[in-house]
Amino acid sequence: MANRDHEAMLQRGAYIWNEWRKNNPGIQPDLRNAHLFEVCLSGVNLNGADLFDAWLSWACLRKADLRNTNLTLAHFEGTILIGADLRHAELAGTDLTNANLVDANLANANLLACRIAGASVWNVNLQDTKQSNLIITSPTEPTITVDDLGAGQILYSFLNNVRIGRFIDTVVGKVVLILGRFTPERKAVLDAIREELRKRDYLPVLFDFDKPATRDITETMRTLAHLSRFIIADISEPSSIPLELQAVVPDLAVPVQPLLLSGQQEFSMFVDLRKKYHWVLATHEYTDIADLLASLGDKVIVPAEQKAKELEKR
């Protein structure tokens, strides 16, 4: 059971509690099985506290300091933990159903057998976090477990959101990734391609690769590419072959249809990509936007669709 004095002090709010912690640095808060439903404790300092089996359902712990806390079997259903610091926290068996952990820091935390059904975990720091047997279903449903917090969030959404299922059915086979540079001249070409694809019932997605190559950008591009029916890449006026394209083409197996403004030359490195990977199609040259749109169907979409169907059979 919790130390009643500690529990009563915490009930008075984060400011009074934090002042007490400053004046009593040697005391480890004992909040085992404490009942703290719906309390507002934004910014509270619970570093090193014992919250075993504590009840903090629907509480607000935004930007709370929960480092090194014992949260084993604690109840955080619907709790706001946005930006909370949970480094080295012990959360084995904790119930995080519908909790909001956006921007939380869970580095080196232990999430063994947590229940994460409906939890929001965007942009969470999971460096060296122990993730295994995470439960993505409610206690009344058959148990489904995963070993990755992000994957659990996505899978839960797929299983429980009819609209997402319908969205997937809608976009499969319709997404076309358009790659190019967002300079004024090139952006006009990309916008024209996008509008024409919309008319043909595709779902165009524009990606500007005139950015420094980083791991995040490459991973984003790889994810979009894997969702795509095919890729249209305008390689006109590059200072070099886009590094992101080099990084993802080898493991794509998605048709890549290059475009090039007449009078310009392909880089030899891009020619090498075509020789190595048959899903990189022959480059289509165009003189201006009108010429490109007039030939888009026969020279761009048809070859890309043919290659996509060929890849589906493999």
pLDDT at 266: 78
Residues in Cβ contact with 218 at an 8 Å cutoff, skipping those fewer than 6 apart: 243, 244, 247, 248
Q: How many residues does the chain have?
A: 314
Domain 1-161, what architecture?
3 Solenoid (2.160)
Q: pLDDT of the chain along its 314 residues, tens only?
A: 678 999 999 999 999 999 999 999 999 999 999 999 999 999 999 999 999 999 999 999 999 999 999 999 999 999 999 999 999 999 999 999 999 999 999 999 999 999 999 999 999 999 999 998 899 988 888 788 998 898 888 888 877 765 566 666 666 678 898 888 777 777 888 889 989 999 998 988 887 655 555 556 677 777 788 888 999 988 887 655 566 677 778 877 889 999 999 988 877 777 788 888 889 999 999 999 999 999 999 999 999 999 999 988 87
Q: Quick one: which of 16, 112, 125 has its CA closest to 81? A: 125
Place of tokens 């956006």: 102
Domain ranges for the chain: 1-161, 170-313
Q: Under 8 Å CB-to-CB from 130, ≥6 apart: which residues?
A: 109, 110, 111, 112
Instruction: Return the pLDDT at 239.
Output: 56
The CATH fold of domain 170-313:
Rossmann fold (3.40.50)
Q: Tokens 């659990």 sit at which residue? A: 152
Q: Is 48 left (phi over 0), alpha (psi -120 to 50) or beta?
A: left
**Which residues, at least 6 apart from 177, have a Cβ–Cβ distance to it below 8 Å?**
205, 207, 221, 224, 225, 227, 228, 230, 231, 232
pLDDT of the residue at 296 = 93
What's residue 242's pLDDT? 63
Amino acid 312: pLDDT: 84
Which residue matches tokens 């890849």? 311
Q: From 140, 146, 87, select the one nearest 119 (Cα to Cα).
A: 146
